[in-house]
């Protein structure tokens, strides 16, 4: 079967895809609170097994599960392999009564598909799975391996994709089909950190005069007050970055450092002996997590070193984490697009063939799991159906036509890429 025939078949059988999307939406995989994806993963696992995929799955936090399917190619060693990646968790829906249509089922109206996950990103997952079914039904062999990552945790900063890649489930090229409006997107990165200050001694509030005034003689400090100085240090670095760094397609000063949350002290009878700041750093596509964290950590330590009190009690800077809920941290590495990569060129070609025009290539205004492929040296793009303004929104919807085109583009890309020699 050639690409044109597959494209026609996708159109003819499109209602089957929409049935599958309805089934996926009915699993209430809201995150947070998460811990609810075992049933949908069992469903996807069975679906993949039925299409002759070998599957691996394992627990990821409690009652959540990661799943990988692999359909071996007929000549894996010599032909390109591909990962398609999608997260099955969805954003919270708020009060269901505020929705025009029920959030956990598919409603079709005037060319739009309504329901939680229609844009972010169960429609893309339905498209991938449906394509696997067509490949099996039509007996279309692929020479290279075809992998599917069924990911959880994306909505809560729990990088399921990272763990899947750590287990070695990579490929020659990857497409993360998170919401991208059929644009081919890279992204800036994002990481959270903590600055923790702790004094050596704890003082009663009655000692404050002796800690802050001439002749007081007590060496100590309020961690809350010293944190102000460190926050000012972060602001200074943020301004410096805004002036010295830039990246096309990002407004200058998009590389921000946000002091997002602060806690400290005991009660008004004490001089605050602890203070912790939770902050968020956004950085550009050409920057690495390790360079950014090093730069910020060194800057904070220098600010502290210039302060005679903090010099003896330097702050501790901690970075990232594996879950916003469990260890209060997250990482989304950046993704710089490699437009010369053959995988990229093939995707552009598949797009042109289906849409009759050039794709929009750019940068996501948000972040997805696509950045995780970069530290594992796997070339990747974010390319998916659905609109950014619909993701996480009340009455989330997406375009039926766009989903059809997405499915046709990915179908053509699979036939092309997985049958090309390495």
What are the CA-CA distances from residue 46 to residues 56, 86, 140, 296 (Å)? 12, 17, 20, 46
Minimal distance, residue 317 CB to Zn ion, in Å? 29
- Specify whether 89 is catalytic: yes
Q: Which is nearer to Zn ion, 178 or 330 (CB)?
A: 178
- CA–CA gap between residue 121 and residue 141 (Å, rounded): 27
DSSP state of 358: P
SS (HEC) of 290-340: HHHHHHHHHHHHHHHHCCCCHHHCCCEEEECCCECCCCCECEECCECCCCC
Binders of Zn ion among residues 205 to 264 (CB under 5 A) are none
Total residues contacting Zn ion by CB under 5 A comes to 3
Of the candidates 213, 157, 200, 179, the one whose C-alpha atom is nearest the C-alpha of residue 384 is: 179
Minimum CB–partner distance for residue 228 and Zn ion (Å):
36
Question: Judged by CB, which is closer to Zn ion: 60, or 279?
Answer: 60
Q: Which stretch binds Zn ion (CB under 5 A): 173-181, 258-266, 320-328, 346-354?
A: 173-181
Closest CA to 1 of 146, 130, 140, 132: 140
In this structure, what token pair is assigned to residue 345? 């060129």
| Region 109-128 residues binding Zn ion, contact defined as CB under 5 A | 120-121
Distance of closest approach, residue 179 Cβ to Zn ion, in angstroms: 6
Among the listed residues 89, 178, 287, 390, the single catalytic one is 89
- One character per residue 266-305, x = contact with Zn ion (rule: CB under 5 A): ----------------------------------------
CB of 44 to Zn ion, least distance (A): 16
The Cβ of residue 91 has, within 10 Å, a number of other Cβ atoms equal to 18
Q: Which is nearer to Zn ion, 120 or 273 (CB)?
A: 120
Task: State the Cα–Cα distance between residues 270 and 221, nearest whole angstrom.
Answer: 11
| Catalytic, out of 22, 65, 154, 402 | 154
In the complex with Zn ion, which residue's Cβ is closer, 121 or 147?
A: 121
Phi (first) and psi of residue 376, to 5 degrees: -100, 10
Residue among 64, 178, 369, 387 that touches Zn ion (CB under 5 A): 178
Nearer to Zn ion, 177 or 313 (CB): 177
| Rounded least distance, CB 154 to Zn ion, Å | 6
Kindly state the smallest distance separating residue 88's Cβ from Zn ion, in Å: 10
396 is a site residue for Zn ion (CB under 5 A): no
Q: How many other CB atoms are there within 10 angstroms of residue 312's CB atom?
A: 12
- For the chain, helix (H) and strand (E) counts, in that order, are 10, 16
Please give the structure tokens belonging to residue 136: 């099996």
- Which one of the spans 2-10, 129-137, 177-185, 348-356 is the region binding Zn ion (CB under 5 A)? 177-185
Active site residue 50: no
Residues that bind Zn ion (CB under 5 A): 120-121, 178
Active-site residue list: 89, 154
């Amino acid at each position: 079967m050639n690409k044109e025939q597959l494209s026609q078949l996708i159109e003819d059988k499109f209602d089957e895809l929409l049935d599958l999307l309805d089934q996926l939406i009915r699993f209430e995989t809201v995150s947070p609170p998460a811990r609810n994806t075992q049933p949908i993963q069992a469903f996807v696992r069975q679906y993949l097994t039925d299409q002759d995929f070998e599957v691996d799955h394992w627990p990821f936090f409690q009652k959540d599960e990661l799943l990988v399917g692999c359909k071996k190619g007929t000549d894996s060693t010599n032909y390109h392999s591909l990962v398609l990646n999608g997260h099955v968790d969805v954003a919270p829906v708020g009060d269901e009564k505020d929705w025009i249509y029920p959030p956990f089922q598919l409603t079709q109206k005037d060319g739009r598909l309504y329901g939680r996950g229609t844009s972010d990103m169960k429609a893309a997952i339905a498209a991938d799975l449906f394509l696997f079914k067509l490949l099996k039904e039509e007996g279309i062999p692929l020479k290279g391996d075809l992998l599917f990552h069924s990911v959880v945790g994306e909505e809560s900063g729990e990088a399921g994709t990272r763990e899947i890649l750590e287990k070695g489930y990579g490929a020659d090229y990857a497409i993360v089909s998170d919401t991208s409006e059929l644009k081919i997107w890279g992204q800036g990165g994002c990481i959270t950190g903590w600055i923790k200050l702790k004094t050596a001694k704890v003082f009663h509030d009655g000692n404050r005069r002796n800690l802050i005034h001439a002749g007081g003689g007590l060496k100590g400090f309020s961690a809350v007050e010293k944190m102000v100085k460190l926050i000012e240090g972060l602001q200074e670095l943020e301004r410096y970055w805004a002036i010295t760094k830039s990246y096309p397609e990002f407004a200058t000063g998009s590389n921000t450092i946000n002091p997002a949350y602060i806690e400290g002290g005991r009660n008004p009878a004490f001089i605050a002996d602890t203070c912790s700041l939770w902050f968020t750093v956004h950085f550009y596509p050409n920057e690495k997590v390790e360079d950014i964290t090093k730069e910020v950590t060194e800057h904070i330590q220098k600010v502290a070193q210039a302060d005679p009190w903090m010099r003896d009690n330097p702050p501790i800077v901690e970075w990232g984490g594996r879950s916003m809920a469990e260890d209060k941290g997250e990482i989304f590495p950046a993704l710089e697009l490699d437009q010369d990569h053959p995988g990229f060129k093939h995707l552009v070609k598949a797009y042109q063939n289906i849409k009759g025009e050039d794709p929009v290539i750019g940068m996501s205004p948000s972040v997805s799991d696509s950045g995780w492929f970069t530290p594992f040296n796997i070339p990747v793009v974010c390319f998916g159906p659905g609109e950014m303004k619909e993701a996480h929104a009340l009455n989330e919807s997406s375009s039926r036509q766009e989903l059809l085109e997405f499915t046709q583009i990915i179908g053509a890309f699979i036939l092309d890429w997985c049958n090309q020699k390495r």
